[in-house]
Amino acid sequence: MKIYVTSVFVDDQEHALRFYTDKLGFVKKHDIPLGPARWLTLVSPEDPEGTELLLEPSTHPAVRPYKTALVHDGIPAASFAVDDVRAEYDRLRGLGVRFTQEPTEMGTVTTAVLDDTCGNLIQIVHTA
């Protein structure tokens, strides 16, 4: 068994698409209209057949309190692996991305947490 699709709830799919592609570097895999929303998935350009990230609309009534609680408590909605957290932090800051946690080393793991501008905190991580 392996993970096929995982999702993050986003307030605006088009805005999220621009942020996740233009800033984070993902590429669009599927964009299928489904009434007022879309089945909109992204993949890493390094692994185009790998796990897809679904930009899921935040329309269900339970989503708003869930997202608010996670952000309030500083809990990331998703975690993405990078080769060098400090370099990615610097690159993203240069693109105007706001971080809620600067690169932090915790033994063999380094993390940083960013605001995806879509109502989520996202962690970037590297393990040695």
pLDDT at 28: 98
By the 8 A CB rule, do 42 and 26 touch? yes
pLDDT tens series, the chain, 128 aa: 999 999 999 999 999 999 999 999 999 999 999 999 999 999 999 999 999 999 999 999 999 999 999 999 999 999 999 999 999 999 999 999 999 999 999 999 999 999 999 999 999 999 98
pTM of the model as a whole: 0.95
Bridge partners (DSSP) listed for residue 73: none
List, as own/partner pairs, every contact residues 25-33 make where C-beta atoms lie below 8 angstroms and the sequence separation is at least 24, other chains included. 26/53
Q: What is the dihedral of CA 68, 50, 111, 126, to 10 degrees?
A: 170
pLDDT at 4: 96
pLDDT at 66: 97
* Amino acid at residue number 14: E
